[in-house]
Structure 1
């Protein structure tokens, strides 16, 4: 298993993985739009011995009070059904967090199950002064601070980039 930053040749495998893993094509279309609009900050893939994509995590810009404050959102995260429960999602997410930290980003936000994402160090975003623009998401909106002191610049209402709002 190889965990690495996605390259252009991975796009078809990522698309197929997303279409197979989710009940609709919404996530595949989202990643396509992010890539097409130049809004895919980072994509991390897990590939099998033949180079097939078996895991993926996308990171894209989010805006805090309408400004780019070097924060990104994590979505979607997916692992092929045959490779689940082997710690692969954890490896993909950590690879992304490490890379974003090296690139100088401030924080990563995620809208997801707190019990799951807290395992990676995500914390309730409201406790850090971040709030989702989406109503009713306070409990599931979480943040992973990437560098000490950087969260001071990331306080306010978070909005995902335009492709997340398209149907």
Structure 2
């Protein structure tokens, strides 16, 4: 399994992956819109031995109480169904932490399944006085330090790029 940064040739395979993994095309459309609007900070792909894209982790900027602290939102994370359960998603997250750290991005937020994301070091954001604008997300909105101690320095409302409002 090779994990690498997205290349232009990966755009359509990522789109196909997202349309296959999620119940609607909303996530695929979101990623295309974020990419077109220059809101992609990092997009990693996992490729099988044949070079096919079987996983994707996409990161875009978030703000805290309207201020940019270089934090990133992970959305979406997708692994092709026949490759799920093999640790590919967690490997994508670990590689992303390394790359984001290299470029000075200190923390990541995600809205997702707590049991899964806690395996990657995410904690409930509310425990750090961090919230997001979407209702009923207290358990699913999570945060992770890329640089130790970063999360403890900030509290408030975390907002994703305006493109997320279309979801």
Measure, in 2, the Cα distance between the counterparts of 1:52 and 1:134.
34
Aligned partner of 1:18 in structure 2 is: 18
Matched length = 167
Task: Using the TM superposition, give the Cα deviation of residue 158 of structure 1 relative to its aligned residue in structure 2, in angstroms.
Answer: 0.5
CA distance in 2, matches of 1:79, 1:35: 19
CA distance in 2, matches of 1:151, 1:76: 21
* TM-score (normalised: structure 2): 0.95
- Structure 2, gaps ≥5 residues long: none
1:64-113 Cα distance to aligned partner (Å, 9 max, x none): 10111111111111111111111111111111111111111121001111
Asked if structure 1 preserves the Cα contact closer than 8 Å seen for 2:143 and 2:151, the reply is no
For residues 14 and 128 of structure 1, what CA distance do their matches in structure 2 show?
33
In 2, distance between residues paired with 1:145 and 1:48?
29
- Superposition deviation, residue 136 in structure 1: 1.7
- Deviation per residue, 1:38-77 (Å, 9 max, x gap): 0011001011223211100111111110111111111111
Contact 1:107 1:144 in 2 (8 A): yes
- Runs of 4+ in structure 1 off by over 4 angstroms are none
Corresponding residue of 1:8: 8
- Displacement of 1:152 in angstroms is 4.7
CA RMSD of aligned residues (A): 1.2
| Residue 73 of structure 2: aligned partner | 73
> What is the distance in 2 between the residues matched to 1:67 and 1:106?
14
Match of residue 102 from structure 2: 102
Unaligned runs of 5+ in 1: none
